[in-house]
Structure 1
Amino acid sequence: MLLLAALLCTLEDRINFGLEVRPILARRCFACHGPDTDGRQADLALHTSHDAAEVINPHGFTIWMAGGGTKPGTVYGATDDFGYHAIENPLEIHDLHATMMHLLGVQHESLTINHGGREMRLTDVHGRVVRDLCIS
Protein backbone atom coordinates (compact mmCIF):
# COMPACT_ATOMS: atom_id res chain seq x y z
CA MET A 1 0.00 0.00 0.00
CA LEU A 2 2.68 2.51 0.96
CA LEU A 3 4.75 1.44 -2.02
CA LEU A 4 1.87 2.38 -4.28
CA ALA A 5 1.61 5.75 -2.59
CA ALA A 6 5.37 6.26 -2.93
CA LEU A 7 5.16 5.50 -6.61
CA LEU A 8 2.35 8.00 -6.86
CA CYS A 9 4.55 10.80 -5.53
CA THR A 10 7.66 10.03 -7.54
CA LEU A 11 5.99 9.02 -10.78
CA GLU A 12 2.79 11.05 -10.71
CA ASP A 13 3.37 12.26 -14.26
CA ARG A 14 3.44 8.67 -15.52
CA ILE A 15 0.83 7.06 -13.26
CA ASN A 16 -2.87 7.75 -13.46
CA PHE A 17 -4.15 7.45 -9.88
CA GLY A 18 -7.78 6.98 -10.93
CA LEU A 19 -7.06 4.23 -13.44
CA GLU A 20 -4.05 2.44 -12.01
CA VAL A 21 -3.77 2.96 -8.25
CA ARG A 22 -7.26 3.68 -6.93
CA PRO A 23 -8.77 0.35 -8.13
CA ILE A 24 -6.10 -1.60 -6.23
CA LEU A 25 -6.62 0.45 -3.08
CA ALA A 26 -10.41 0.11 -3.47
CA ARG A 27 -10.15 -3.69 -3.48
CA ARG A 28 -7.67 -3.96 -0.63
CA CYS A 29 -7.85 -0.87 1.57
CA PHE A 30 -11.10 1.08 1.29
CA ALA A 31 -12.97 -0.99 3.90
CA CYS A 32 -10.76 0.58 6.57
CA HIS A 33 -9.28 3.62 4.78
CA GLY A 34 -11.81 4.70 2.16
CA PRO A 35 -14.21 7.61 1.73
CA ASP A 36 -16.56 6.46 4.53
CA THR A 37 -15.38 8.45 7.55
CA ASP A 38 -17.42 6.33 9.98
CA GLY A 39 -15.52 3.14 9.14
CA ARG A 40 -12.12 4.75 8.69
CA GLN A 41 -9.35 3.49 10.98
CA ALA A 42 -6.42 5.55 12.29
CA ASP A 43 -7.80 8.59 10.45
CA LEU A 44 -6.02 7.24 7.35
CA ALA A 45 -7.73 8.01 4.04
CA LEU A 46 -6.53 6.54 0.74
CA HIS A 47 -9.38 7.34 -1.67
CA THR A 48 -7.82 10.41 -3.32
CA SER A 49 -4.34 10.86 -4.75
CA HIS A 50 -3.68 13.68 -2.26
CA ASP A 51 -4.70 11.54 0.73
CA ALA A 52 -2.73 8.53 -0.51
CA ALA A 53 0.38 10.64 -1.08
CA GLU A 54 0.19 12.09 2.44
CA VAL A 55 0.71 8.71 4.12
CA ILE A 56 4.20 8.29 2.77
CA ASN A 57 6.53 8.39 5.67
CA PRO A 58 4.66 11.08 7.57
CA HIS A 59 6.12 10.61 11.04
CA GLY A 60 7.71 7.15 11.11
CA PHE A 61 9.61 5.05 8.59
CA THR A 62 11.27 1.68 8.25
CA ILE A 63 14.63 0.96 6.70
CA TRP A 64 16.63 -2.23 6.43
CA MET A 65 20.42 -2.10 6.47
CA ALA A 66 22.87 -4.98 6.23
CA GLY A 67 26.64 -5.37 6.10
CA GLY A 68 29.11 -2.54 5.85
CA GLY A 69 29.61 -2.23 9.59
CA THR A 70 25.97 -2.22 10.64
CA LYS A 71 25.19 -4.03 13.86
CA PRO A 72 23.45 -7.29 12.90
CA GLY A 73 20.03 -8.10 14.32
CA THR A 74 19.43 -4.59 15.59
CA VAL A 75 15.98 -3.08 15.89
CA TYR A 76 16.28 0.61 16.63
CA GLY A 77 13.17 2.55 17.57
CA ALA A 78 9.49 1.80 17.28
CA THR A 79 6.32 3.30 15.89
CA ASP A 80 2.80 3.41 17.25
CA ASP A 81 0.44 0.50 16.55
CA PHE A 82 -0.40 1.89 13.11
CA GLY A 83 3.21 2.57 12.08
CA TYR A 84 2.33 6.22 11.74
CA HIS A 85 4.39 8.00 14.42
CA ALA A 86 7.89 7.23 15.69
CA ILE A 87 7.49 6.85 19.45
CA GLU A 88 10.87 5.39 20.43
CA ASN A 89 14.30 6.68 19.30
CA PRO A 90 13.00 8.92 16.50
CA LEU A 91 15.62 9.89 13.91
CA GLU A 92 15.81 12.61 11.32
CA ILE A 93 16.80 11.74 7.77
CA HIS A 94 20.05 13.68 8.31
CA ASP A 95 20.95 11.24 11.13
CA LEU A 96 20.42 8.31 8.79
CA HIS A 97 22.56 9.95 6.10
CA ALA A 98 25.31 10.78 8.62
CA THR A 99 25.29 7.17 9.86
CA MET A 100 25.47 5.74 6.34
CA MET A 101 28.35 8.05 5.43
CA HIS A 102 30.16 7.06 8.64
CA LEU A 103 29.76 3.39 7.70
CA LEU A 104 31.28 4.22 4.31
CA GLY A 105 34.22 5.95 5.98
CA VAL A 106 33.14 9.46 5.00
CA GLN A 107 33.29 12.37 7.45
CA HIS A 108 29.82 13.81 6.98
CA GLU A 109 30.79 17.10 8.65
CA SER A 110 33.64 17.64 6.18
CA LEU A 111 31.98 16.56 2.94
CA THR A 112 30.44 19.54 1.17
CA ILE A 113 29.00 20.36 -2.21
CA ASN A 114 28.67 23.70 -3.94
CA HIS A 115 24.98 24.52 -4.19
CA GLY A 116 23.95 27.90 -5.51
CA GLY A 117 27.43 29.31 -4.90
CA ARG A 118 27.45 28.16 -1.30
CA GLU A 119 29.30 25.22 0.25
CA MET A 120 26.76 22.97 1.94
CA ARG A 121 27.11 19.74 3.90
CA LEU A 122 25.16 16.78 2.61
CA THR A 123 23.70 16.40 6.08
CA ASP A 124 22.97 20.15 6.26
CA VAL A 125 23.74 21.58 9.70
CA HIS A 126 22.09 18.57 11.28
CA GLY A 127 22.98 14.93 11.35
CA ARG A 128 24.55 12.82 14.01
CA VAL A 129 26.03 9.36 13.65
CA VAL A 130 23.80 6.83 15.42
CA ARG A 131 26.46 4.66 17.07
CA ASP A 132 23.87 2.12 18.23
CA LEU A 133 23.50 1.04 14.59
CA CYS A 134 27.24 0.54 14.04
CA ILE A 135 29.50 -2.34 15.05
CA SER A 136 32.34 0.00 16.02
Structure 2
Amino acid sequence: MEKSIRNIIIATVAALTFSTTSFAAGNSDDAIAERIKPVGQVYLASDVPVVEEPTGPRSGEQVYKTFCTACHSTGAAGAPKTQNAADWAPRIAKGMDVLKEHALNGFNAMPARGTCMNCTDDEVVDAINYLVKGLVN
Protein backbone atom coordinates (compact mmCIF):
# COMPACT_ATOMS: atom_id res chain seq x y z
CA MET A 1 0.00 0.00 0.00
CA GLU A 2 2.83 2.39 0.89
CA LYS A 3 4.45 1.68 -2.45
CA SER A 4 1.28 2.58 -4.40
CA ILE A 5 0.82 5.84 -2.45
CA ARG A 6 4.47 6.64 -3.07
CA ASN A 7 4.01 6.02 -6.83
CA ILE A 8 0.90 8.24 -6.88
CA ILE A 9 2.80 11.05 -5.14
CA ILE A 10 5.75 10.73 -7.56
CA ALA A 11 3.40 10.69 -10.57
CA THR A 12 1.53 13.74 -9.26
CA VAL A 13 4.74 15.71 -8.64
CA ALA A 14 6.05 14.77 -12.10
CA ALA A 15 2.78 15.77 -13.77
CA LEU A 16 2.71 19.12 -11.99
CA THR A 17 6.36 19.79 -12.84
CA PHE A 18 5.94 19.08 -16.54
CA SER A 19 2.60 20.89 -16.83
CA THR A 20 3.91 24.11 -15.27
CA THR A 21 6.99 23.93 -17.48
CA SER A 22 4.89 23.65 -20.64
CA PHE A 23 2.53 26.37 -19.39
CA ALA A 24 5.44 28.72 -18.71
CA ALA A 25 6.84 28.08 -22.19
CA GLY A 26 3.73 29.69 -23.69
CA ASN A 27 4.19 32.84 -21.63
CA SER A 28 6.73 34.66 -23.75
CA ASP A 29 6.18 38.39 -24.06
CA ASP A 30 5.01 37.98 -27.65
CA ALA A 31 2.57 35.20 -26.77
CA ILE A 32 1.10 37.24 -23.92
CA ALA A 33 0.79 40.34 -26.11
CA GLU A 34 -0.99 38.29 -28.78
CA ARG A 35 -3.49 36.89 -26.28
CA ILE A 36 -4.38 40.22 -24.68
CA LYS A 37 -4.38 42.47 -27.74
CA PRO A 38 -7.63 44.42 -28.31
CA VAL A 39 -10.25 42.84 -30.53
CA GLY A 40 -11.10 46.14 -32.20
CA GLN A 41 -10.23 49.78 -32.10
CA VAL A 42 -11.91 52.68 -30.34
CA TYR A 43 -12.36 56.06 -31.99
CA LEU A 44 -11.60 58.91 -29.60
CA ALA A 45 -12.91 62.42 -30.17
CA SER A 46 -9.35 63.72 -30.34
CA ASP A 47 -8.39 61.25 -33.09
CA VAL A 48 -8.44 62.33 -36.71
CA PRO A 49 -11.58 60.76 -38.21
CA VAL A 50 -11.38 58.64 -41.32
CA VAL A 51 -13.50 60.28 -43.99
CA GLU A 52 -14.92 58.00 -46.62
CA GLU A 53 -14.84 59.79 -49.94
CA PRO A 54 -17.06 58.65 -52.79
CA THR A 55 -15.19 57.35 -55.81
CA GLY A 56 -17.40 59.24 -58.23
CA PRO A 57 -20.92 60.53 -58.71
CA ARG A 58 -23.59 58.14 -57.44
CA SER A 59 -26.94 57.66 -59.10
CA GLY A 60 -30.17 58.56 -57.35
CA GLU A 61 -30.90 54.86 -57.00
CA GLN A 62 -27.51 54.19 -55.36
CA VAL A 63 -28.00 57.05 -52.89
CA TYR A 64 -31.57 55.92 -52.16
CA LYS A 65 -30.57 52.28 -51.57
CA THR A 66 -27.69 53.30 -49.31
CA PHE A 67 -29.18 56.14 -47.27
CA CYS A 68 -32.93 56.51 -47.87
CA THR A 69 -34.46 53.06 -48.08
CA ALA A 70 -34.65 52.42 -44.32
CA CYS A 71 -37.30 55.10 -43.84
CA HIS A 72 -38.80 55.57 -47.29
CA SER A 73 -39.44 51.88 -48.02
CA THR A 74 -41.37 51.43 -44.76
CA GLY A 75 -42.82 54.88 -44.08
CA ALA A 76 -40.91 55.09 -40.79
CA ALA A 77 -41.42 58.33 -38.83
CA GLY A 78 -44.00 59.46 -41.37
CA ALA A 79 -41.65 59.31 -44.35
CA PRO A 80 -43.47 59.16 -47.69
CA LYS A 81 -43.04 55.71 -49.22
CA THR A 82 -41.06 55.35 -52.41
CA GLN A 83 -43.15 55.99 -55.54
CA ASN A 84 -46.40 56.06 -53.51
CA ALA A 85 -48.59 58.68 -55.17
CA ALA A 86 -50.83 59.28 -52.13
CA ASP A 87 -47.83 59.88 -49.85
CA TRP A 88 -46.02 62.14 -52.28
CA ALA A 89 -48.89 64.20 -53.79
CA PRO A 90 -49.04 66.89 -51.05
CA ARG A 91 -45.26 67.18 -51.03
CA ILE A 92 -44.94 67.39 -54.80
CA ALA A 93 -47.69 70.05 -54.80
CA LYS A 94 -45.33 72.31 -52.83
CA GLY A 95 -42.82 72.09 -55.67
CA MET A 96 -39.47 70.47 -56.30
CA ASP A 97 -37.62 73.43 -54.78
CA VAL A 98 -39.30 72.76 -51.41
CA LEU A 99 -38.54 69.03 -51.70
CA LYS A 100 -34.91 69.86 -52.44
CA GLU A 101 -34.75 72.31 -49.50
CA HIS A 102 -36.22 69.74 -47.09
CA ALA A 103 -33.92 66.98 -48.33
CA LEU A 104 -30.77 69.11 -48.11
CA ASN A 105 -31.48 70.83 -44.80
CA GLY A 106 -33.84 68.43 -43.06
CA PHE A 107 -37.52 68.82 -42.17
CA ASN A 108 -39.49 67.33 -39.27
CA ALA A 109 -38.11 63.77 -38.85
CA MET A 110 -36.16 63.96 -42.13
CA PRO A 111 -32.46 64.41 -41.32
CA ALA A 112 -30.39 66.78 -43.43
CA ARG A 113 -29.22 65.03 -46.58
CA GLY A 114 -30.92 61.88 -45.35
CA THR A 115 -27.74 61.22 -43.31
CA CYS A 116 -25.58 61.19 -46.46
CA MET A 117 -23.12 63.84 -45.36
CA ASN A 118 -20.78 63.20 -48.28
CA CYS A 119 -23.50 63.39 -50.95
CA THR A 120 -23.37 66.31 -53.33
CA ASP A 121 -26.47 68.45 -53.82
CA ASP A 122 -26.91 66.86 -57.24
CA GLU A 123 -26.80 63.35 -55.74
CA VAL A 124 -29.48 64.30 -53.21
CA VAL A 125 -31.65 65.74 -56.00
CA ASP A 126 -31.13 62.57 -58.04
CA ALA A 127 -32.31 60.55 -55.01
CA ILE A 128 -35.45 62.73 -54.80
CA ASN A 129 -36.09 62.15 -58.49
CA TYR A 130 -35.71 58.40 -57.94
CA LEU A 131 -38.18 58.52 -55.03
CA VAL A 132 -40.86 60.32 -57.05
CA LYS A 133 -40.13 58.68 -60.41
CA GLY A 134 -43.34 58.51 -62.44
CA LEU A 135 -45.25 60.75 -60.00
CA VAL A 136 -44.11 64.15 -61.28
CA ASN A 137 -45.37 65.51 -64.61
Higher strand share: 1
Which entry has the higher C-alpha Rg, 1 or 2?
2
Please indicate, yes or no, whether the TM-score normalized by the shorter chain is above 0.5.
no
TM-score relative to the length of structure 1: 0.21
Q: Which has the higher contact order (CA 8 A, sep 6+)?
A: 2
Higher helix share: 2
